[in-house]
Structure 1
Amino acid sequence: MGGDKPKMVLLNANNYAIWKTKMMDRLYVKQLAKPIEKKGVKPTEFTQDWNELDRRCLVYIRDYIDFGIIHHLENEETAYGCWTKLEGLYERKIAAHKVGLVRQLSKLRYLDDQPITEHLN
């Protein structure tokens, strides 16, 4: 039990916020986060092969994307390009969804004949 690792989720159209957080964590653990951190620009002090690191990062990201949306990334050749494409596709939808949830929450009213536990849930 102690050695169980949390599973990585596949990115689909509905779970970008969770996927993004978990993916960045995994990229850090695998030491592949530099291309994303540095916005695709090789740091001058970087001594490793930048192109190889970038490609490994890109492959790792693509491994955790659902087949239903991978076609959006077919022309992306860099990890940072892939990352920004995904942000453009899904980040705005999440913000709009949050606004919708806040509006929905503000409209909630307790009905006298409704059990209080149901209302709170």
Structure 2
Amino acid sequence: MEESSGSNIMMKPMTSNYSIWKPRMEDMLFFHDLEGVILGDSAKPSIMIDKKRKKLNRKTVSRIRQWVDNRVFNHVAYETNAHVLWNALQEMYERKTTQNKTFLFRKLINLKYNDGTPITEHLNTYQ
């Protein structure tokens, strides 16, 4: 299940694509007026009614979980706070472990241009 709006396609996050997934998800949340919830209580307007805030929080959680890979879904399945969910995903995918660095280094070394594909696609993969 991937959402497509124009030429943009939403993908499920993985270590290799998290740097692309995160801003796209932030854009999607912004588009649906849900971005403030992932920022936590510091972004909560003082005039916002708690009931409305809870509804926005729940909508944000469901929107984010739609795009979480099945392999890590069990880690976030019962989280009901969007800010905590967002931070948990960030911790999972932004870890700077040796294993992640090795994976990315190998991927870079083995990166090859495929004839017939646009050079911009190759450069995006490189980046």
Q: TM-score, normalised by structure 2?
A: 0.65
Distance 1:85 1:94 in 2: 16
Distance 1:44 1:8, change over 3 A: same
What are the superposed Cα offsets for residues 69-107 of structure 1, whole Å, 9 maximum, x if unpaired? 111112311111100111111112389639x75xx99xx
Which structure would you say has the larger RCO, counting Cα contacts within 8 Å and 6 or more residues apart? 1
Q: Residues 26-45 of structure 1 correspond to what in structure 2 (within 5 A)?
A: 26-37=28-39, 39-41=40-42, 42-45=44-47
Asked whether 1:57 is paired with 2:79, we answer no
Structure-2 separation of matches of 1:86 and 1:59 = 14
| Local SS of the residue matching 1:68 | helix
Q: Percent identical across equivalent pairs?
A: 27
Larger Rg: 1
Question: Which among 14, 21, 24 is matched to residue 22 of structure 1?
Answer: 24
Aligned AA (2:60): C
TM-score by length of 1: 0.68
Q: Is the 8 A contact 2:38 2:83 kept in 1?
A: yes
Partner of 1:85: 88
Q: How many residues align?
A: 100
Compute the RMSD of aligned alpha carbons.
Answer: 2.9
Aligned-partner residue type, residue 93 of structure 1: K
Unaligned stretches of 5+ residues in structure 1: 106-120
**Structure 1 residue ranges, 4+ long, deviating more than 3 angstroms after superposition:** 93-96
* C-alpha separation in 2, matches of 1:65 and 1:83: 11
User: 7, 13, 24: which is aligned to 2:9?
Assistant: 7
